[in-house]
Amino acid sequence: MRSARDAALYVISRVPPARAETLLKESFRKYSLDSRDRRLVTELVYGVIRNLITLDHSLSFYIKQPKKVRPEARNILRLAAYQILYLDKIPPRAAVDEAVEQAKGVAGKCMTGYGHVRSRSTGSTGPRLAAAGFVNAVLRNMLRAPEKVIFPCPEKSPLDYLSLKLSYPKWLVERWTGRFGFEGAKALMEAGNDVPPLVLRVDSRRPRDELIRLFKEGGIEAEPGRYAPDALVVRSRRPVTELPGYDEGLFSVQDEAAQLVSLLAAPEPGEVILDACAAPGGKSAHLSSISGGLARIVSMDISLDKLAVLKENSLRLKTPDIFSVAADAAGELPFKGKAAGFVHAGAGSGRAGAGGWSGFDRILLDAPCTALGIVRRRPEIKYARGPADIARMAVMQLSMIENVSGLLKPGGTLVYSVCSTEPEEGEGVVGRFLSRHAEFRLDDPRPFLPQPVDRPGGAAHGLVMDNFIRTFPHLHGTDGFFMARMMRR
């Protein structure tokens, strides 16, 4: 149990800027954790990150000078406070005892400065006992007097209430309440704090019911998704690599909203398709699946490390029609002259015009973004972003879409998407692009959705409005996505 909490402390002490998911994998190896401890570490890490502001607010009522608490002590207190306030299966006193031991373990490194606690046995003093005494005193007070914690009144101070109660930075609370109102913003933030389900994309070439039966035989509860025809929501808690069919490449992990993006692209056999920001390859694999493995998919990404993961996934999913290319979607693209030969070679007759290769049949740009639509999967995003990031990302996204759009052949399809809830990164980018490029038009996405749902009069319950698709976790049970389908005249 102690090693699990030490692993959790290792992760939350480094998030952000590092990603929790990456650090969790590191901690599993560093502390040699079994599957049970891995589940506990994951619970502790994501629980603390999701509720960081709330935990700090609660702890502040038991600390005289909260701003002077050093980082390691603060994180030890956060871990224990999360267990005390949110977990029923861990006895509060056990959480306190573990926190005290943790404090002793790191005291000599970075936890001095809390005054002295005299040892009864030796009369000695030192940072080890001082740190342990400080942590013990704070947490014992929290157990004895939980009524000390007070939150602002939602009627009098709605922004402060939502920020402190649901643990979102003030600027984001203000932005979302301005867009959705108090209740809408509250629902969105609550959904962002929920533990998301495991959603799989079943290979389109295999019946989804077949995998459901296979899971059922293994005692795994799963049900079809609501929107995407290949989506499968797994209700049983089990590592994805231990699910039946994983090694055989029968499925990949992909949220239902992300699956809609490739459906909009609607690839066909024999086409040449560019996935412009592809790694780690989920959408490329879906494009391959939809086209029956008979298209030629160029998966481009700037990150060599991520392309390596893409190649591993491609091998597991058996998608030999995917070809990886290292390039920046906002920079110089390697698809001109002789360098384009590998793209259209063997792509099928009629794809190249009399003058040579005429361009990609379809381009999918799932652009880098603030990722504010996937807070429930990456809760550290809440604290890593600021208002300036939205504008900065929008500039980069517009640069990318203008850059790659020139590679699309006349009559081709361009799909743009972001996992962001913010209109500047979605409607704003597409609107500016279309205003500059009369050769492109916005296409109706509804024929490509298996269950099209309009939003008449701006109602918030559907997927489509003004020929854009938007999904929200509190409305659709999916990640927050924006997507648009455009055609080149």
The contacts of residue 162 (CB under 8 Å, 6+ apart) are 154, 168, 173, 177, 182, 185, 186, 189
Give the H/E segment covering residue 323.
Answer: strand 322-326
Report the alpha-carbon distance of residue 269 to residue 290 in Å, rounded: 9
Structure token digits, residue 253? 């992990």
Backbone angles phi, psi at 10, to 5 degrees: -60, -40
Do 12 and 46 contact (CB within 8 A), yes or no? no
Where would I find the beta strands (DSSP E) of 327-473?
352-353, 356-357, 360-366, 408-418, 440-442, 464-465, 468-471
Helix (H, G, I), strand (E, B) or coil at 416: strand
Q: In the 8-state DSSP scheme, what is residue 457? A: G
Q: Examine residue 269 and say whether the peptide bond preceding it is cis (omega within 30 degrees of 0).
A: no
With CA atoms as reference, report the closest residue to 480 among 369, 384, 398, 375. Answer: 375
User: 235 near 187, Cβ under 8 Å?
Assistant: no
Token readout for 212 is: 């459901």
**Chain position carrying tokens 């998919």:** 297
Write down the catalytic residue from 110, 277, 369, 419: 419
Query: Would you call 419 a catalytic residue per the annotation?
Result: yes
DSSP assignment string, 126-193: -HHHHHHHHHHHHHHHHHH-GGG-----TTT-HHHHHHHHHT--HHHHHHHHHHHHHHHHHHHHHHHH
Cite the active site residues. Answer: 419
